[in-house]
């Protein structure tokens, strides 16, 4: 077959990039064409995402892609993080920059929601993990604050939905990202309207759910002209970055109610879970605070959010502010030489969500927990990485309980795969082999859905066959499990 080229716009909370994928019918070849920084911006008392600047960067990446691949480019699709959104008004204009999930506006909103609808009722309707950053509590904050933006809103669009609207004019809610909101019913495959109405949220802003693999149509004429992409079309990937990453896990087992593998999508967050063929909305799932999010190909991602490399990212940023310019490689090398398993903290502690001084926050949390306080750079990074590995271990133990079996292997995908020290820590902590890779799982999953979808449906096994043929993983066997067992029990 003639070589096809697709473009993935992959936006994360700390960076974004445009990646091309050239596919010859068997192998996928990646090329990063444009990379740029991202991060929430303090503005008028809130943390917002600078959507105009991000759109400017996306256009720059699309222009670079057109210069590189020309008319061979068939399609483009966008994936991002979950839970954040903005609104279009009745005239089709964007009403506001989206607010970051780390903004303080949701404080107290989880309790406010539970005063109206008990936790068990919310979980039965949504199957989602309870975190105050969820879209449900962001919306409730707007409603309780009599937001003029919410009053004027005609359509809610998640972050990738916004970019697809900017690209082609289609205002749709893609399934995998909609499922991160705690406004979506995974069993019905639609919005949880009875719950939303009970909480006083307007039904009108929630549009029809659209599946990964759907062709949204050609680029807007002005976008086509500005980028040189010509007749490229917009095709929905799994727009939640974890959905795309899990689609690119190189497993060969079909989706099951009792899978023999689990995944860790490792980046700013560590998303720990299993791929199921149906949602698992049970009292046990609620008790363990797991979440049912939609995956590519009609699957369910049963998972829990664990704070990942955010801790080290923010330590590095804090050190940079005082003139200490550590590279990632230097920090990992320092951590590798530090004594093991001295300090462990809870990486999901609320004090670590958005501290001004992450090293100081880690020290304070260690002191409060009665753990040795890490004073050096090496000890701080070691504590952060080992705390993430310990949290992954705890979460996999809970996952085993929900599945009724001990999964035998862990697939780690995403940018965190490049941290070999952390991958080995996860193998040692869990006592299971870690199959690490591909690093670019999110972009790969995005691209292959565009390239292989037919009529809005995706064959996951065919997609994963391309991943296995195209990318070689690294396996980490457990080595130091006795030390972890002695430390954690």
Residues 112 and 231 in one domain: yes
> Contact at 8 Å (CB) between 484 and 428?
yes
Does 48 share its domain with 120?
A: yes
Give the C-alpha distances (Å, rounded to integers) separating 45 from 2, 103, 306, 349, 352: 52, 9, 27, 23, 20
Q: Which residues contact 369 (CB under 8 A, 6 or more apart)?
A: 345, 346
Question: Annotated catalytic sites, by residue?
Answer: 241
Q: In this structure, what CATH number is given to the domain that contains residue 348?
A: 3.30.420.40
Task: Determine if the peptide bond prior to 112 is cis (ω within 30°).
Answer: no
Q: Choose one of 235, 270, 287: the last residue of a domain.
A: 235
Same domain, 153 and 44: yes
Counted residue by residue, the chain has a size of 489
**31, 19 Cβ separation under 8 angstroms:** yes
Residues 6+ apart with CB under 8 A from 104: none
- Reading phi first (left if > 0) and then psi (alpha if -120 to 50, else beta), residue 217 is in left
pTM of the entire predicted model: 0.92
The answer to whether residues 178 and 273 belong to one domain is no
Shared domain check, 223 and 89: yes
Contact 288, 123 (CB under 8 A): no
**Residue 456, pLDDT score:** 82
- Is 8 inside a domain boundary? yes
Choose one of 201, 235, 269: the last residue of a domain: 235
206 and 265 co-located in one domain: no
Two tokens at 268?
């700013």
Q: How far apart are CA 117 and CA 338, in angstroms?
A: 48
User: In this structure, is residue 400 part of a structural domain?
Assistant: yes
The span from the CA of 376 to the CA of 371, in Å, is 15
Whether residue 343 lies inside any domain: the answer is yes
- Parent domain of 209: 4-235
In a domain, 447, yes or no: no
pLDDT tens for the chain, 489 residues long, are 578 999 999 999 889 999 999 999 999 999 999 999 999 999 999 999 999 999 999 999 999 999 999 999 999 999 999 999 999 999 999 999 999 999 999 999 999 999 999 999 999 999 999 999 999 999 999 999 999 999 999 999 999 999 999 999 999 999 999 999 999 999 999 999 999 999 999 999 999 999 999 999 999 999 999 999 999 999 999 999 999 999 999 999 888 878 999 999 999 899 999 999 999 999 999 999 999 999 999 999 999 999 999 999 999 999 999 999 999 999 999 999 999 999 999 999 999 988 999 999 999 999 999 999 999 999 999 999 999 999 999 999 999 999 999 999 999 999 999 999 999 999 999 999 999 999 999 999 999 999 999 888 999 999 999 999 999 999 999 999 999 999 998
Of 206, 235, 264, which residue constitutes the final position of a domain? Answer: 235
Q: How far apart are CA 8 and CA 450, in angstroms?
A: 9
314 contact partners, CB below 8 Å, separation of at least 6? 355, 358
User: 179 and 290 share a domain?
Assistant: no
Vertex 423: Cα angle to 417 and 426 (nearest 5): 135
Same domain, 205 and 280: no
Domain match, 180 and 139 both: yes
Q: Is there a contact between 245 and 442 (Cβ–Cβ < 8 Å)?
A: yes
Q: Domain check: are 352 and 413 in the same one?
A: yes
Residue 476 lies in a domain: yes
Q: Let me know whether 306 and 210 are in one domain.
A: no
Q: Is residue 302 part of a domain?
A: yes
**Residue 149 shares a structural domain with residue 211:** yes
Q: Is residue 449 part of a domain?
A: no
In order of 279, 389, 460, the CA distances from 290 in angstroms are 11, 18, 24
Domain assignment present for 240: no
Q: What domain count does the chain have? A: 2
CA-wise closest residue to 227 among 5, 6, 67, 35:
67
Q: Determine the pLDDT at residue 1.
A: 59
Q: Among 445, 441, 430, which residue's Cα sits nearest to residue 477?
A: 430
């Amino acid at each position: 077959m003639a070589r096809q080229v697709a473009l993935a716009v992959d936006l994360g909370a700390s960076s974004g990039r445009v990646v091309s994928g050239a596919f010859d019918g068997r192998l996928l070849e990646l090329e990063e064409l444009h990379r740029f920084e991202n991060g929430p911006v303090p503005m008028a008392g809130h943390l917002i995402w600078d959507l105009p600047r991000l759109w400017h960067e996306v256009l720059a990446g699309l222009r670079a892609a057109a210069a590189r691949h020309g008319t061979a480019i068939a399609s483009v699709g966008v994936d991002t993080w979950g839970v954040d959104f903005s609104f279009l008004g009745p005239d089709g204009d964007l009403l506001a920059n989206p607010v970051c999930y780390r903004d303080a506006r949701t404080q107290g909103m989880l309790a406010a929601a539970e005063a109206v609808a008990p936790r068990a009722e919310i979980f039965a309707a949504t199957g989602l993990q309870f975190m105050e950053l969820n879209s449900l509590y962001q919306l409730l904050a707007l409603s309780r604050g009599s937001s003029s933006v919410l009053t004027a809103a005609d359509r809610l669009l998640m972050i990738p939905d916004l970019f697809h609207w900017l690209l082609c004019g289609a205002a749709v809610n893609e399934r995998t990202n909609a499922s991160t909101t705690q406004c979506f019913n995974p069993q019905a495959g639609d919005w949880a309207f009875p719950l939303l109405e009970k909480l006083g949220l307007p039904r009108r802003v929630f549009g029809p759910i659209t599946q990964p693999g759907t062709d949204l149509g050609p680029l807007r004429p002005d976008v086509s002209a500005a980028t040189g992409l010509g007749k490229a079309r917009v095709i929905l990937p799994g727009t939640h970055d974890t959905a795309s990453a899990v689609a690119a896990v190189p497993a060969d087992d079909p989706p099951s109610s009792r899978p023999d593998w689990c995944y860790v999508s490792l980046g700013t967050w560590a998303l720990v879970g299993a791929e199921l063929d149906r949602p698992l909305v049970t009292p046990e799932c609620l008790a363990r605070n797991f979440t049912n999010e939609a995956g590519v190909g009609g699957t369910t991602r049963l998972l829990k959010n664990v704070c990942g490399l955010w801790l080290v990212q923010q330590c590095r940023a804090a050190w940079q502010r005082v003139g200490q310019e550590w590279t990632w490689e230097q920090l990992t090398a320092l951590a590798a030489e530090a004594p093991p398993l001295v300090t462990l903290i809870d990486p999901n502690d609320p004090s670590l969500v958005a501290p001004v001084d992450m090293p100081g926050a880690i020290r304070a949390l260690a002191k409060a927990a009665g753990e040795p306080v890490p004073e050096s750079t090496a000890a701080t990074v070691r504590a952060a990485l080992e705390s993430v590995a310990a949290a992954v271990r705890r979460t996999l133990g809970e996952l085993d309980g929900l599945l009724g079996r001990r999964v035998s292997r862990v697939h780690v995908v995403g940018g965190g795969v490049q941290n070999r020290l952390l991958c080995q820590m996860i193998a040692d902590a869990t006592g299971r082999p870690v199959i690490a890779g591909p690093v670019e799982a999110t972009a790969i999953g995005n691209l292959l859905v565009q390239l292989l979808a037919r009529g809005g449906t995706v064959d996951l096994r065919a997609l994963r066959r391309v991943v296995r043929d195209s990318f070689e993983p690294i396996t980490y066997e457990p080595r130091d499990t006795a030390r972890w067992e002695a430390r954690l029990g």
